[in-house]
Structure 1
Amino acid sequence: MESSVLAFATDLLDEGADTFFGHLTERAGVGGVTLASVYHAARDVFPHHPHRVVRYLEPGAAYFRPDPVRWAGRRLAPVPSTAIGDRDPFAEAAAECHRRGLKLHAWTVFCHNDRLGFAHPDCSPANAFGDRLLTELCPANPEVRAYALTLVDEFARYGVDAVRAESLHFHGLRHGYHHERYFEELGPVAEALLGICFCPHCLAAATAAGVPAEEVGRAVRKEVRARLEDERRAAEPAALDALADGALAAYLDASARTVTSLAAEVAEAAAAHGMRLTFMDGAGPGRGWLSGIDLPTIAKAAHQVETLGYARTPEAVRERVAAFALHGVRPEELAVILRPMAEDCDGPENLAAKVAVLRGLGVPEVEFYHYGLMRLSSLDRIGRALRG
């Protein structure tokens, strides 16, 4: 079973290569590192950081040195984090991984990018009222798709083994933003409908598929308005697939084809450079349909699907993998991320049992979240689990 730990470039820069890679190899005993290449805004606590405890990550920043020739004339282009200065963490990590016989993965947040969304609102999703969701980029937008493909081309020069694609899909309304507020209860139906993209590119894709897209938009606006005006109506359930005489379901199918085709194009670009594409599905089986994630087709488009095995018991991890199998994704097509920290694991035996479950099911790859956000004792826990 292959193994790696997810980490930030700042972990490497702040601790230094000897300490950082020493912890990975000597304490955790993993065979690779999954380093964030483009990442969203965050505020995190770092238990074993040598100088600080709390760090902020910039919105939509890149942690490698973009090739200016590739991005000449582009509106959507990665902006290096100020935290890396004039260094290139990916080049440094690539050199160390090559020297130590480790694999390097590019953990890339594609469409959840506040920086680019606010700078270029027309590249963000638009709800049925035309409101742009500026924390995101729309997968149907041609500039967004070109941005994603060019990112993959960038990683080839670092000798990356796999691109871990996070957020290579749509997102819902409540995906997280600073002081995001909902004082009146929207209800699950209105919230779901407000997260569907009706930008010109999505409307065109649905129309080309024979869907009455404008009619769907009108029906969504009417339904949302009714739920916003009436507190009792907000809580009522609704069969979304019946909205607009069933056309909303066809509209969402078109959105899923948009995501699948983008994943296929990114996977093809990665394969052309000898890399794999791992599609990260954090929601899990049956929960990603509003995000455009159709698991059976995504599994065919990408080289691998990755899911979160965040659970307290080995049995719950087993059930998670089994649920993917019910949706057409076999265990051997999966990678699973585990958390060795106390929230999920009450001791080293717990993590070891989860790793044993994955091995027994034939899952070929396990990752651990997250190097900088865990105690050093949790890194030791990983090492004991991998040794069996």
Structure 2
Amino acid sequence: METTAASSNRRSRTVESSVLAFATDLLDEGPDRFFGNLAERAGVGGVSLASVYHEARDIFPHNPHRVVRYLEPGAAYFRPDPAAWRGRRLAPTASTAIGDRDPFAEAAGQAARRGMRLHAWTVFLHNDRLGFQHPDCAPANAFGDRHLTELCPAHPEVREYVRTLVAELGRYGVDAVRAESLHFHGLRHGYHHERYFEQLGPVAEALLGICFCDHCRAAAAAAGVPADEVRDSVRTEVRRRLADEDAAAEPGRLDRLADGALAAYVDASAATVTSLAAEAAEVAEGLGMRLSFMDGGGPGTGWLSGIDLPALGKAVHQVETLGYAASAEAVREKVAAFALHGVRPQEMAVILRPMAEDCDGAANLAAKVAVLRELGVPEVEFYHYGLMRLSSMDRIGAALHQLG
């Protein structure tokens, strides 16, 4: 039976809360209204504002100026310091949507006055703008085709871009960098009018998403992997599956391809991601910030993306994941799965959606937050300010009020 002291300790645990938002939400509504909704309707203690974001088209239920908005590919929503990027090929470009304003400076001032935390939600390597401008910095499949919607984490200039971008965010008094897309991506990461008229099969799709650029092959070779032989074997296997429908449908164990060397090659890619995350976390810490590595897929899904959870859990300050689920018990199971991969709840942040797709009311949302508090998860975030109705924001406030 739980002791009274233990029960009291569990109830007293607090969870820091924030809402993910776009800088355009702040610009369209104005800082006073934007932060007023966060503090008074949602009742949260912070905001994770997008600093660099990928291309998108979204519906905004409560925006006063527009319902549909297109976001520019790979745009920055702060004002980059020209001195920090002088001489660099890879550099952020301020979104045309911000004009001559600096949303991060405005948000930092408002957050400081209200005693709220400001986080920088940053999409690092999923960047159409920079990939198309600099194809040599994008991942290359086994045939040398570049995935231009991404940047390769093994490329030295990409790594320099990541470190400098983190340092830039330190100018704004940011508490934590929410690092999204700080890893490889698969073939189907998403591009408009992306088409697959023949069924490729899961094996061919997986193989076409692995990077074999010069830098990735060099990293694998340094780890003792016969990188060129692995690439040639992948080419042969993909060609076989592309040529024959029955072959495409065949199951396959990726760890057995290329006489097992492919698995070692992918492991070397994971080491590349982990070292880059560690470098970014070191820069962040030196500037008084934390770095949260955002893992959207969850345990068991990120091997081909270079996500080694046990290693990353030691390299960064926090791992953040999506708690998108209909019930509190499903959220509990998602967090428990991370513990099996070496990431404790105390080292996590979890994102919940208060919208109807996941949540039927304040009690449902409160139960999920209560589970996170019970498990010792220190931070919960809610997705997404501009994409939810104001009634969903009220639901956040009611849920947090219920928990006290």
TM-score over 0.5 for the pair: yes
Are 1:225 and 2:239 an aligned pair?
yes
- 1:324 Cα deviation after fit: 0.4
TM superposition outliers: structure 1 runs of 4+ over 2 Å: none
- Map 1:231-380 to 2 at 5 A: 231-380=245-394
Distance 2:326 2:237 in 1: 39
Are 1:99 and 2:135 an aligned pair?
no
- 1:368 Cα deviation after fit: 0.2
Return the TM-score normalized by structure 2: 0.96
Distance 1:385 1:167 in 2: 30
Greater alpha carbon shift after TM alignment, 235-244 vs 120-129: 235-244
Match of 2:211 among 197, 200, 219: 197
- 1:302 Cα deviation after fit: 0.4
Identity of aligned residues (%): 81
User: Per-residue displacement from partner, 1:220-277 (whole Å, max 9, x unpaired)?
Assistant: 0010001001101111111110111100000001000000000000000000000000
2:393 is paired with a residue whose SS is helix
Distance 2:231 2:54 in 1: 30
2:386 is paired with a residue whose SS is helix
User: Per-residue displacement from partner, 1:148-179 (whole Å, max 9, x unpaired)?
Assistant: 00001101110000000000000000000010
Q: Which amino acid in 2 is paired with 1:225?
A: R
Q: Which residue of 1 aligns with 2:138?
A: 124
- Map 1:74-85 to 2 at 5 A: 74-85=88-99
Q: Which residue of 1 aligns with 2:155?
A: 141
1:157 is paired with a residue whose SS is helix
- 1:18 Cα deviation after fit: 1.0
Q: CA RMSD in A?
A: 0.5
- Map 1:51-200 to 2 at 5 A: 51-200=65-214
Distance 1:113 1:284 in 2: 22
- 1:133 Cα deviation after fit: 0.1
Q: Which amino acid in 1 is paired with 2:311?
A: T
Number of residue-to-residue matches in the alignment: 388
Distance 2:72 2:33 in 1: 25
1:244 is paired with a residue whose SS is helix
Q: Which amino acid in 1 is paired with 2:369?
A: V
Are 1:18 and 2:18 an aligned pair?
no
Distance 1:259 1:320 in 2: 23
Q: Which residue of 2 aligns with 1:7?
A: 21
Distance 1:75 1:35 in 2: 26
- 1:349 Cα deviation after fit: 1.1
Q: Which residue of 2 aligns with 1:37?
A: 51
User: Per-residue displacement from partner, 1:295-324 (whole Å, max 9, x unpaired)?
Assistant: 000000000000000011111100000000
For structure 1, which runs of at least 5 residues remain unmatched after alignment? none
Q: Which amino acid in 1 is paired with 2:289?
A: M
1:108 is paired with a residue whose SS is strand
User: Per-residue displacement from partner, 1:72-119 (whole Å, max 9, x unpaired)?
Assistant: 111000000000001000000000000100000000000000000000
User: Per-residue displacement from partner, 1:158-209 (whole Å, max 9, x unpaired)?
Assistant: 0000000000000000000010000000100000000000000000000011
Q: Which residue of 2 aligns with 1:207?
A: 221
Q: Which amino acid in 2 is paired with 1:185?
A: Q
Q: Which amino acid in 1 is paired with 2:390?
A: L
